[in-house]
A and B are shown apart, each in its own frame.
Chain A
Amino acid sequence: MSAFLNLLFRNRLAAMGAVVLAVIVALVLLTPLLPLQDPDITATADRFKRPLTDGHILGTDHLGRDLLSRLLHGTRLSLAVGVAAALIAATIGSAIGIVAGYFGGRIDNVIMRGVDMLMAFPYILLALAIVAALGPGLMNALIAVAAVNVPFFARNIRGVTVGLAGREFIDAARLAGMGHTRILLTELLPNVLPVIIIAMSTTVGWMILETAGLSFLGLGSQPPQADLGSMLGEARSALISHPHTSVVPGIMIFLIVMSINLLGDGVRDALDPRLRSGALSRPRATTLVARKGDIPAPTDDLLAIQDLHTQFHVGERIYRAVGGVSLAVKPGECLGVIGESGSGKSVTALSVMGLVASPPGVITGGAVRFQGEDLIGAPYAALRAKRGDKVAYIFQDPLSTLHPLYRVGHQLAEAIRSHHRVPMAEARARAIQLLHDVRIPNAEARIDDFPHEMSGGMRQRVGIAMALANEPDVIIADEPTTALDVTVQAQILSLLDDLRRARGLAIIFITHDFGVVAQLCDRVAVMYAGRIVENGPTDAVLAAPAHPYTKRLIACVPELGGGRRELAAIPGLPPMVDDLPPGCAFAPRCDKAQEACRTGDIPLSGTPPRAVRCLYPEELV
């Protein structure tokens, strides 16, 4: 709770809204105690007194009634009615939504049909019809506003509930013997509640507006009782001659609604976990660069990553995702980068072309050189010209990495036309050729498919075709087969292998699978906690791993054909990269660790082509 309030008030606008609202609420609560004139006493002689006249700070209205007193009483009424309407609508609507969403099937169908019908009305028609039937009056206006908002809550909450009801913890609760009522109340409701609160906080202001609106039309509160809407409605005829009678209630409505909206946004931001810590930031076109220290000198490699540091800055915390990685590939070479999740292998790959999402990503040191030219901190135009043209990417999940609304042919042609001025027809012909190259059967027809019309394996072939579109020198493949079935994976791997041999491509292949590395890569680099702990020719590293981590990681992967057995697990967990231990990051899990392992920086050393970052390696390299 206090964490929630902290978050809420860190948002200055929300805090401002809260303050304004608190003042208004305090005023209206105290209204009966304040020395105010009776809001309903008319004094025609004193009509239309201007503000700041004696005895009437805000002046008087067309019947000579004190505007301040009427304003406070009206605000009291408007707030009460609006909040009551919101509570009623939220309670009924949420109950309907949860029931429909949880049970699904026929119950859901019937309920939601009804809701759809209510939503088929522009809301005011329904409200007007209800008021027409029940007769004008504040209570009836309240009922009307609540009623038209029930479908809104019902639909909103149902959507959330359907998502939750499909989650595995609901299944788990059923397996634990819980009945429907108990699941609804103890499993679903606590998870839906924040959404209900968000929906309420973002609509209560609107409901206050609506009840005021009905009163403004003369369908809500009836004279002499007045809420803010009817004050405004009554003042309208004197708008031109005595504008202050309109301005006073109008501004009050505005203040109330704005403060509630500000507060409501704050509540939403604080409750929605996705919005916390600025997670909904738009990634920039390139990763931010804030390099400290020296920039390494150029080498003659095709692509060289040199002492790269990439961090994520989230609030106060700094996650050192990549802490000084150096890698290089030569033409035609395939380099595997292997590691567990959080080892920094993907971030390393994305840093090359400035594709790490930023914020929160920042490249804080090192260089990435393509044919000697540093890409880190290169101007956007220079970087863009190389993206996809010189260095291309293949990503993990082909469903989410292809644009769902463009045909694959369009996406392929776009890759070509982003770098070469060719007519559309030529680009399309080239796209068909590319689909042939990645062995998509019937390429002429499939080019007009949308991604969702293809299977996972076919989509990944499109992803590969897109990477090949401009005949790049380097392809960076970030777990390209992890989302695929094993038989499809085999096809994709052999395709990649053929392509690289036929075209002399350099590939940086990111994976967590030793089997894949062994079959595809010439060299391999093993990453742990943002650093390379070992690298060398694949066969040598796999046959005689030098770093204890490599050795034990290989041992704990079951291999087909090994039969039934106990696996050699590594105890403990990889360290969090915002809290790395000094010395070797693997030391806490390593049975060979000595005191020296826990202090100071341990260099990557050995005789090329092998190197290891360990004081007590398993093999001397």
Chain B
Amino acid sequence: MPALKVDNLAKTFPLKKPLFGAAPPGVRAVRPMSFQVETGETLGVVGESGCGKSTLARMLVGLLEPTQGTIEIEGRALDNADPAAFGKLIQYVFQDPLSSLNPRKTIRQVMEAPLKRLYHMPKPERDVRIAEIFASVNLREAFLDRYPHEFSGGQAQRIGIARALAANPRIIILDEPVSALDVSVQAQVLNLLADLKRDFGLTYLFITHDLAVVEAVSDRIIVLYFGAVVEIGRAESIFANPRHPYTKLLADSAPVVGRPLTAPEQKDTELPDPLNPPPGCAFAGRCPRATDICRREEPALTPMGDDQLAACHHPLET
């Protein structure tokens, strides 16, 4: 049984109806997508701004109601958006650690909330539990009575992780958890996450825009473009042997020491307009391999080789 199973999940944000005429069709932030995350796995989700990765994350934890589709956690379907129902099973670590902590609450108050609200735990038990969690994220208990502004970004992110752990979830959604951190601190947090996963038997969905980070932490990776999954594959092979031209473009664009500077994309093209999406494959306008069929028909996600799926009419050969 997979830890998380997403079936046909989609989100369309309605647009404001103009004064005259019919309402426009709305922005399809997440197009219908299906995937699953196995227990104990880290699934990386990578994509550029506007690809729908944050919308996806917010739907998965119940902060946003899907337009269609279902979310199943360990076989249990969760289809209404209710963070409290989701909270015990799935938790969220935010991108901006300081913004995710109420500036007027002590860390202890922040930590107690899930224990009190989700588990109705009495005070002595709560204290014991908080002490345990703090020890596991390498934070001193003295921090508990301080306010968020007294912490650095890295410390605040540990607190954010500790809060997620307090709810004792099965799955944690990590939404760009290290993007706001300096590289030296980033490595600390990534290592901590790896340790916690091992110790608590967690399942991660790791969302980021950083290819190197996602490759370093994931088992499998999903590549999103314009609200849709364009490729799914094993972390160790997907960027080395991409099947979708967009994945290849991403991999070629990442600055790597020792690789000469080239512009992988010679045409200076722009992203598709979400208000006016192109028919067919959304990447066709930027794609060197695009043909007529790409501009007409949206390609379906199809298996290509071992453990790899891509949504492309003209996939790259390996």
* Contacts from A to B (Cβ < 8 Å): 167-169, 171-179, 182, 186-187, 190-191, 340-341, 439-441, 455-458, 485-487, 489-491, 493-495, 497, 512-516, 518-520, 542, 552-553, 556-571, 573-574
Contact = CB atoms under 8 A, between A and B. Distances in A.
B253 A489 contact: yes
B154 A573 contact: yes
Contacts of B211: 486, 560
Contacts of B78: none
A487 B265 contact: yes
B264 A490 contact: yes
Given A175-B92, A177-B113, A560 B63 contact: no
5 contacts: A177-B114, A340-B184, A441-B268, A458-B270, A487-B48
B191 interface: yes
- Chain A CB within 10 A, most for which of B61, B191, B217, B263: B263
Contacts of B104: 190-191
B144 interface: no
B252 A490 contact: yes
Q: Give the 5 A-B CB pairs with smallest separation, nearest first.
A: A515-B255, A177-B117, A494-B263, A556-B187, A569-B187
B182 A512 contact: yes
B263 A519 contact: no
Contacts of A571: 188
A317 to B, nearest CB: 16
A175 B154 contact: no
A352 B5 CA distance: 55
A564 B102 contact: no
A2 B48 CA distance: 47
Interface residues on B, range: 35 or more
A515 B256 contact: yes
A515 B216 contact: no
Contacts of A568: 187
Interface in B216-266: 216-219, 235-236, 239-240, 249-265
A573 B117 contact: no
Contacts of A520: 261
A542 B257 contact: yes
Contacts of B216: 558, 562-565, 567
A571 B189 CA distance: 11
- Chain A CB within 10 A, most for which of B160, B188, B251: B188
A176 B87 contact: yes
A143 B167 CA distance: 49
Interface in B259-318: 259-265, 268, 270-271
Interface of B: 48-49, 58, 61-63, 83-84, 86-87, 91-92, 94-96, 99-105, 110, 113-114, 117-118, 152, 154, 160, 163, 167, 182-188, 190-191, 194, 209-213, 215-219, 235-236, 239-240, 249-265, 268, 270-271
A169 B218 contact: no
A122 B241 CA distance: 68
Given A172-B94, A557-B183, 19 more contacts: A168-B99, A169-B102, A171-B100, A175-B62, A175-B83, A177-B87, A178-B113, A486-B211, A493-B263, A494-B261, A512-B183, A519-B255, A519-B256, A556-B183, A560-B256, A563-B216, A564-B216, A564-B218, A565-B216
B222 to A, nearest CB: 16
Contacts of B271: 455
B194 A566 contact: yes
A190 B109 CA distance: 13
A560 B235 CA distance: 11
A187 B102 contact: yes
B215 A485 contact: no
B188 A574 contact: no
Nearest to B175: A168
Contacts of B61: 175
Contacts of B253: 486-487, 489-490
Given A440-B268, A560-B254, A191 B113 contact: no
Nearest to A513: B255
B247 to A, nearest CB: 11
Contacts of A556: 183-184, 186-187
